[in-house]
Amino acid sequence: MNSFSFAVLATDGRARRGRVTTAHGSFETPAFMATATAATVKGMTPESVRETGAELAICNTYHLMLRPGAERVAELGGLHKFMNWCGPVVTDSGGFQVMSLAPLRKISEHGVTFRSHIDGTMHELTPERSMQIQQLLGSDITMAFDECTPFPAAEEEAAQSMRLSMRWAERCKKSFRCREGYGLFGIVQGSVYPELRLESVKTLSEIGFDGYGIGGLAVGEGQEAMFAMLDVTVPALPQDKPNYLMGVGNPDDIVGAVLRGVDMFDCVIPTRAGRTGKAFISHGTLNIRNARHARDPRPLDENCNCPVCESYSRAYLRHLFMADEMLGPMLLTKHNLHYFQNLMKDLRAAIEERRINDFAAEFAETQALGDIPPLFSGD
């Protein structure tokens, strides 16, 4: 079995290219995870997800504890066997989902009690129970249980929330069962207040984790504030450990975060966008439902070598969406996942070749062009 480790293979400014090794293999960084909330990437088989270049998946503790239940997953051999995924798996702690249940939950020093959004039954989630659930699931990377501070929050409110998360983080560390190849990440909180972010980093560093999540961002604060918090947070983190910007998935946010030294990302954006007809392409995005695609024989992106762009026209993809055929969302999801994995591959190459700043500038310029319309008008 592999030991859990992180190696920095190249740097360019603050950007770094690395490799994380886990019990179920390694993955290259900067990395974008495949979001498998309920132990599945919506509309995709595990084999298809791997074909996009994804090396690790992230599953959701909250949703899996409600159904089918962590104990049942463990009885069936753990997440890897259950969902037929051979690579590393990350599980979030459930903190973000519990935050979103505001009217249905109650927070105390001990933990959180909440009503299931599925059937209204009462549940309790504590740092200790979160560690137990994630162990039962068999995740390679376990996330500490935290309170995701909502935005906006006054500084006093953010401080109280962050310090509660730090006390919970210490309990998570004590409850986590160390095993060869499995890691535990602490999560930095502090909203948009630099001193609180630094206090959180200091506390987590003293506790000691295998990696560090950066939480409480991409919750409405805007890109400028997010980047400002990364400028404060990332340099203060232990540089021999991987870091993970949680819930961030806009391509320009990813590029800016990589420039600032972030290693790992996750977000539902590529799959959710695919299901609603939005495709990410080299010149920005397009809405395949738009009438101007009705007669367009071109692929989604002439610069993309994914199976969707090699085999299907915009006209056909639009037809699928307009006819409510399930294949449409499946194909756009597949393309979007390819797009994000190709972006990460390009970022890794740019860091290795020490041209990350040029890549970022070219990326921003190309994205600003927008989708190039066909030479004819649509129906």
Task: Give one DSSP letter per residue of 60-111, joined into a string.
Answer: EHHHHHHTT-HHHHHHTT-HHHHHT--S-EEEE-SHHHHHTTGGGEEE-SS-
Query: Is 92 annotated in the active site?
Result: yes
User: Which entry of 12, 253, 263, 266 is annotated as an active-site residue?
Assistant: 266
Query: Is 296 annotated in the active site?
Result: no
C-alpha to C-alpha distances, 307 to 93, 312, 328, 331, 359, nearest whole angstrom: 34, 8, 14, 9, 25
CB atoms within 10 A of CB 264: 28
- The phi and psi torsions of 25 (rounded to 5 degrees) equal 105, -175
**Which long-range contacts does 160-166 make (Cβ < 8 Å, 24+ apart)?**
161/189, 161/191, 162/189, 162/190, 162/191, 162/196, 162/199, 162/200, 164/107, 164/109, 165/95, 165/189, 165/200, 166/200, 166/203, 166/204
Is residue 327 within 8 A of residue 335, CB to CB? The reply is no
Q: Which tokens belong to 143?
A: 């996330």
What SS3 state is found at 332?
helix
Q: Where in the sequence numbering do the catalytic residues fall?
A: 92, 266
